Amino acid sequence: MRVRRSLIAGSLLALVGGLASPAIANDEVEKRSQDFNYWGVPGQNNKLQRHSELKDINTGNVAKLQYAWSQSTGALRGHEGQPVVVEHNGKPMMYFSSGCPEMSKCNIVQALDLSDPDHPVQVWNYVKKTDRDESAVPRACCDTVHRGVNYVDGKIVYHTLDGFVIALDATTGKEVWVVKHAWPEKGETITGPVLIAENLVIAGFGGDEFAARGRLTAYDLKTGKEVWKCHSTGSDKDVCMTPETNKANPHYGTAGKDLGIITYPKREGQAEHPEGEYMIGGGAYWAWGSYDPELKLVYWSTGNPGHWSPSYRCGYTGENLTHEKCNDGTWDNKWSMTIFARKVDTGEVVWAYQMTPFDQWDYDGVNENILVDDLDVDGKKHKALVHFDRNGFAYVLDRTNGTLLRANKFVTVDWAEKVDLKTGRPVKVKEHSPFAVGVNTPSCPSAMGGKDQQPCSVDPKEPNKFYCPTNNWCMEDEPQERSHTQQGTVYVFANVYMFPEKPGISGKVKKFDVVTGKADWEIPDPYPNWSGTLVTDGGLMFYGSNGGDFRAVDRNSGKVVWSKRLGSGIIGNPITYKVGGKQYVSIFAGLGGWIGIPVTAGLDMEDKFGAIGATAMAKATGLDKIPQAGMLYTFRLGD
């Protein structure tokens, strides 16, 4: 761990554009999040609640919702994010980025003046022109997506697929600083987004399927200089563990043993990385981070431990190389599949909880960690963290110390009977746990998970009820022989076939109670739901279908009360804001993501193992009949 202590040096700088200086940037973020006329950060707030108190559009008038305007993103695919809408220099402004289909059109940032909210005007756009790495596009797993930009201190802070974190002047679009954060030749690409916490820009990257070694890095917002860096595998020092880590739950694993090393095997004679499997052990932080400014804790989760052929990640040999022995806790492959709570100023780990030890399914743990207060569990109120994991369990933890409070199945799950709340470990089912090379094993959910990165939403006034898009498909997984250990090269070693759990239904949106483990209602869809959700005080929940339908739902009854077909499949996340006395709702359309990449990349639909199983699902659900596009659509009530 490398820590710089002089973070206060710039605290007395002059205000930039009338806004807060870097030393109090988090105050600015929090203040913007409380003004629901705007949408200041990707998740509306750093708790990632995706809730708005706006209610001009409501269940009584949503039928009058009409198209207002649209704007091309400049790219055809990969729109998993959302814009931000802020007041900058006295004007309402919208900022957003495209995906990265190719380097000449990679992560185009646009700045729109919304002073005339029905007729936005682009005032600048930005594409990085120099030092680009073309190899990032084929190395991006899965798809060349972009999950959004941040605005703070008069800057747009965002990332590029090929590894740059960049701060732009929000007025001119000129570069303020640029840092190289990830290296595609090592399998590292950034799909983001970054997190702004205090005066830090915190960034991860993806690449588990290319043997990347996960790490999280914090940069100074003013200068772009590195403040701290913490890995997810390796020594206690590399991971930023301390003697206080997991003090309340030592059974999760504590410092003193270098668990991030010894829970991976060390192969004799291995040409690359002879120091051990942990050096190519995955655990990347490739999705959403959240932040509690009172506790000063950053919450961010890690992905799978590299390749998908699990027997190679177990150190037993001979007759001991069995599913049962490899799940005895010795070879957990820490700290992959882990929710980390880190101190914002140093990165030190306060607590770390591994959801899927010794992963056998690619159940990446990177889904968003949503923070809610006063959640009543068994008669006690908690500052809670809620995480809907790919493995099909919805976890509720006390975010102050990591204590596990609930772990309920929110989709069909057969790989585990339950999660033991005392130990925190899943009770695995051998018949649905891929293990041996060349043996085909069925399991639910599929590797795409009960929910992938598409984020849920919650009204903090109702902290137990979450509005979540879910996947409803299973898989057959056949581990393969490992042929290499080289970073930056495809590193999966499994044949995966995915299929709908029930014919004709591949997606559902649910209102789910994380305490009781029951759904109030659900909406089935023939197309996968890869869009996030938005919940408002107008009694509505908004989301999109990969079939292209943008919908408003009565959040009490679950009835679809408005729908509009857009120009492509929707994998973006809706936002809402208010300008000129009128409430607007915006969303990206543009097929892509892991589920859409067979279409966007032009893969062979007859190859049922293509895109690690995505081609079979795309064909089964008819996604090859959905046109490609890259558009931002905006709606308001008719006059």
Helices (H), 169-317: 236-239, 259-262
DSSP letter at 146 equals B
Three-state SS string over 150-165 comes to EEECCEEEEECCCCEE
Given the residues 80, 238, 362, 452, the one annotated as active site: 362
Query: What are the strands of the beta sheet with 226-231, ordered from one edge?
Result: 195-197, 200-203, 215-220, 226-231
Given the residues 162, 198, 209, 525, the one annotated as active site: 209
In the residue annotation, 56 being an active-site residue is answered as no
Distance, in Å, from the CA atom of 81 to the CA atom of 298, rounded to the nearest integer, reads 21
DSSP 366-411: -S--EEEEEEEETTEEEEEEEEE-TTSEEEEEETTT--EEEEEE-S
Distance, in Å, from the CA atom of 357 to the CA atom of 423, rounded to the nearest integer, reads 12
Q: Which residues pair with 202 in a beta bridge?
A: 195, 218
Within 10 angstroms of residue 544's Cβ, the number of other Cβ atoms is 30
Tokens, residue 174 = 């000129």
Continuous segment of H or E residues that includes residue 595? helix 593-600
Place of tokens 């919208």: 94
Q: Is the CB of residue 354 less than 8 Å from the CB of residue 334? A: yes
In the residue annotation, 554 being an active-site residue is answered as no
In the residue annotation, 118 being an active-site residue is answered as no
Three-state SS string over 34-72 comes to CCCCCECCCCCCCCCCCEECCCCCCCCCHHHEEEEEEEE
Given the residues 304, 471, 529, 546, the one annotated as active site: 304
Give the contacts of 317 (CB within 8 A, at least 6 positions apart). Answer: none
Instruction: Say if residue 240 is preceded by a cis peptide, omega within 30 of 0.
Output: no
The alpha carbon of residue 5 and the mean position of all alpha carbons in its chain are separated, in whole angstroms, by 30
607-610 long-range contacts (CB < 8 A, ≥24 apart) are: 608/497, 609/495, 609/496, 609/497
24: region left, alpha or beta (phi > 0 left; psi from -120 to 50 alpha): alpha
Residues known to be catalytic: 209, 304, 362
